[in-house]
Structure 1
Amino acid sequence: MSLALPARGRRRSAGIRNFELIAGGILTTAMVALALVAPTLFPNVNKMDLRARLLPPFTDLAHWLGTDPLGHDVFARIATGGRISLVVGVVSVLGAVSVGTLAGLVAGYYRGIADTILMRIADIQLALPFMLMAITFIAILGPGLPILITLMIVAQWVQYARLVRGITLTLRDREFVQAARAIGVAAPVIIWKHVLPNAAGPIIVLMTLNVANNILLESSLTFVGLGVDPTVPSWGGMLADGRTYVQTAWWVTVFPGLAIMFTVLGLNLLGDWLRDRLDPTSSR
């Protein structure tokens, strides 16, 4: 019995994947481009204009998304805050994938005592609630961007370690790995040239989804006062500053919220598309 999709089903599936790529690419590229040009377009993002405070959107070309209670331009702060969110999301994911991939490769390939120690450390890490750990660290070390990024790395390296360990366990006994081992190829070379390339697909997909997740985490922690410095423009900080003006100045919170939503949506769409493209069992 054939399990192949009918022609109409294949066209529909391909259309969905193309939509994910196009929509995700447009949303992500637009947000990244805006964040990159923000310092050039808005060099004085903290400049206040008290005479134009709480100006509604689309009423003044100089402040086309309106102003906040201190007269800051909402669009300028959204563009500048995007840099903070993207830096936190990308740097924390790169740190987590570096630590977790190395731990997973060592644990999966060498097994034995290395596997036991690393996986027990991972179990302990998974038993620690992230918010409790964040509150404790920030209470001791104080808020700040480096502390926030470090917290995310510590909280998320386990995901990559377990993923890479599982893939490595299945690859270490494959014929091409055994052949390389039989002709005397060193273990680090086997890991680098044979195991890691085969694990790259799932790692990339998880990285894409975790960048979106970390942007939400940064915004949430900043909203409750556990994130970046309040004087630094950020999406979570804008939501926190505007929550008391929701009924009288909705734009102060709505537009930063939309920026978070569109950025996370774009990254999730790209992650879904990558998952379909890199999954060897998916239909083409």
Structure 2
Amino acid sequence: MSDGTIGKGSPLNRFKTLEFILGVLLVGGIGLAVLFSGLLFPGGGAAVDLAARLTPPFMSWAHPLGTDPLGRDVLARVVVGGEISLQVGLYSAAGAVVIGVLLGLVSGYYGGFWDIFVMRFADVQLALPFILLAITFIAIIGGSTTNTILLLIVSQWVQYARLVRGSVLSLRDREFIQSARAIGVRDHRILFQHLLPNLIGPVIVLTTLNVANNILLESSLTFLGMGVDPTIPSWGGMLAEGRTYLQTAWWVSVFPGLAILLTVLGLNLLGDWLRDTLDPTGRTSR
């Protein structure tokens, strides 16, 4: 009978290696292009050339992916627009991690009033549909890049808080925690030096997957007019601009859509690889 382990030469192990390589290539390639977008496209894709408007892709060396209705280069706008989308994904996930992990640690370790208060508040928030929360949030404070990041932080800290709380509840009565208490170790050291390192793996995996999810949410909100300022290039904004030209100039929407697809696919592949790497007990043989 199989013991659930995976040999070095097993097909599943080779697949996981391929998964990691593909994820790194996709995320790394797009990340590097966005990072050096200022050098690659000094104008930021804002140059207007009405004489070249709606040029099809692969028809001109000057515009390899074609141009939009204002004659702006689609390739430049996709690369430059990726900066906003990636910033929203990364910053919102980081903010949700900080808030959620802190509240989850306190809630799980101390219990009592703090646990009841944080978890009931989390239950109420989870009962709210995201689109209702987004409409209310944007209606009150307005739409912008910063506000979109804040919205995603508010909507996602709950996931980290519940994950961390559950892990802390299973660890706080273990022998190494009891020993630390017995020798007088302060609570903050127990939380951050003993408990946090033992639950950081699932948090990293969830963060990777949430970055991908946040990129999709930012694009969706911007497409609906509730996200990033439409004057700032972003993948969601480009999708919204090109929807009226799908039948005559499909490339205006297709290429930013492909950028979203490849980025999210790469992040999900890395997240899946991290999950199996950091939690080997969860693997099964095939």
TM-score (norm 1): 0.96
Q: CA distance change for structure 1 residues 2 and 50 in 2, over 3 Å: closer, same or farther?
A: closer
Residues 78-117 of structure 1: CA deviation (Å, up to 9, x unaligned): 0011101100000000000000000000000011111111
Query: 1:247: how far off?
Result: 1.1
Deviations 1:199-251 (A, max 9, x none): 10000000000000000000001011111011000111111111111111111
Task: Give the corresponding residue for 1:150.
Answer: 150
Q: CA deviation at 1:282?
A: 3.8
User: TM-score with structure 2 length normalisation?
Assistant: 0.96
Aligned to 2:260: 260
Residues 37, 79 of structure 2: 8 Å contact kept: yes
Matches within 5 A, 1:262-281: 262-281=262-281
Asked if the contact 2:26–2:266 (Cα under 8 Å) also holds between the matched residues in 1, the reply is yes
Query: What's 1:140 paired with?
Result: 140
| Structure 1 gaps, min length 5 | none
Give 2:160's aligned amino acid: Y
What is aligned with 2:80? 80
Distance change (3 Å), C-alpha of 1:2 and 1:240? closer
Distance 1:114 1:72 in 2: 54
Distance change (3 Å), C-alpha of 1:2 and 1:244: closer
- Count of residue pairs the alignment pairs up: 283
**1:199 is aligned with what amino acid?**
L
* Match in the other structure for 1:64: 64
Counterparts of 2:132 and 2:155, CA distance in 1? 11
- Residue 95 of structure 2 corresponds to residue 95 of structure 1: yes
Report the equivalent of 1:118.
118
Cα distance between partner residues in 2 of 1:104 and 1:219: 29
Instruction: Return the alpha-carbon distance in structure 2 between the equivalents of residues 225 and 42 of structure 1.
Output: 26
Q: 1:4 to 1:222 in 2, by over 3 A?
A: closer
CA distance in 2: counterparts of 1:238 and 1:53, whole angstroms: 15
> % of aligned pairs identical?
62
Alignment map for 1:198-217 (pairs within 5 Å): 198-217=198-217
For 1:15, what is the secondary structure of its paired residue?
Answer: helix
Confirm or deny that 1:222 pairs with 2:237: no
- Listed one character per residue, the Cα deviations across residues 149-198 of structure 1 (whole Å, up to 9, x for unaligned) are 00000000000000000000011011111111111101110111110000
Give the partner amino acid of 1:167: S
- Partner SS, residue 143 of structure 2: coil
> What residue in structure 2 maps to residue 18 of structure 1?
17
Distance 1:163 1:7, change over 3 A: closer
Shift of residue 3 of structure 1?
A: 2.4
- Equivalent position amino acid for 1:275 in 2: R
1:12 CA drift (Å): 0.9
What 5-or-longer segments of structure 2 have no aligned partner?
none
| Stretches (4+) displaced over 6 A | none
Alignment RMSD (CA, Å):
1.4
CA distance in 2, matches of 1:99, 1:6: 36
CA distance in 1, matches of 2:7, 2:15: 14
Post-superposition Cα deviations, 1:23-58, rounded to whole Å, max 9, x if no partner, equal: 000000011001111122222221100000000111
Answer yes or no: is the 8 Å Cα contact 2:7–2:13 preserved in 1: no
Instruction: Compare 54-63 and 201-210 and name the one that shifted more.
Output: 54-63
- Describe the shift of the 1:6–1:91 C-alpha distance in structure 2 as closer, same or farther (beyond 3 A): closer
